[in-house]
Structure 1
Amino acid sequence: MTDIHATARAAALLKDHRDSIDRLDAILIYTLAERFIHTQAVGKLKAAHELPPSDPAREATQIARLERMAEESGLDPEFAKKFLNFVIAEVIRHHEQFQK
């Protein structure tokens, strides 16, 4: 039988972890929104100057940079790479729309 005090402590810890997760999710969403404000400005600038929507050299540099940061922080570098590739694909899609 589970100790009622241990169960209450576990419930409190669970709530604390979930509160932190919710706060971090909000930070991620607002950070991504801010990032896309800047990438859309870049897309408009590229369109205005007839530059290609994609910059493979920059993308490779960013992926390598984020993989290093992921390793340093204890995050799976492969996950970081997949995440950044997803974000980059969305950015390029926006940039291509500005080219039309």
Structure 2
Amino acid sequence: MSLRAGPLEGTEDLESLRARLDAVDAELLDTIRERLETCLRIGEYKRVNGVAMMQPHRVAAVQGRAARYAEEHGIDPAFLRGLYDTIIAETCRLEDEWIASGGTGAGTPRRRAS
């Protein structure tokens, strides 16, 4: 399977396509926030159990999974690698801050008020 646009549906106009994109973006951002929060929980596990923050084999596994996904879905592997490099750098930063703070909350992503 590869990226595809397909023909426009009769009811699609620019505004409806943009609204769809905005909804996808909101889901993507929520997913990134959830990933960061999960990484902080992992950071807490590492802190409590004396596990080293950096786990190169895990980073390689995540990058490998992204590369396979790119191949299977017709996405530029360099794009996904760069995206994951950025995401992994931020999660490492947050985990590092969490561990260094003794689990007091420094580095925690801020939640918006509901």
Check whether TM > 0.5. yes
Contact 1:47–1:95 at 8 Å: present in 2 too?
Answer: no
Alpha-carbon separation, structure 2, partners of 1:27 and 1:87: 16
**1:69 matched residue in structure 2:** 69
**1:96 matched residue in structure 2:** 96
Which of structures 1 and 2 has the bigger CA Rg?
Answer: 1
Amino acid at match of 1:33: R
Alpha-carbon separation, structure 2, partners of 1:20 and 1:77: 25
Amino acid at match of 2:43: G
Alpha-carbon separation, structure 1, partners of 2:92 and 2:22: 29
Amino acid at match of 2:98: F
Unpaired segments ≥5 residues, structure 2 = 1-11, 101-114
3-state SS, counterpart of residue 75 of structure 1: coil
Q: Which has the higher helix share?
A: 1
Unpaired segments ≥5 residues, structure 1 = 1-11
**Does residue 1:52 correspond to 2:40, yes or no?**
no
Q: CA RMSD in A?
A: 1.2
Q: How many residues align?
A: 89
Alpha-carbon separation, structure 1, partners of 2:59 and 2:66: 11
**1:18 matched residue in structure 2:** 18
Amino acid at match of 1:79: F
Alpha-carbon separation, structure 2, partners of 1:72 and 1:16: 28
Alpha-carbon separation, structure 1, partners of 2:19 and 2:29: 16
**Does residue 1:85 correspond to 2:98, yes or no?**
no
Give the CA deviation at 1:51. Answer: 1.2
Question: TM-score, length-normalised on structure 1?
Answer: 0.82
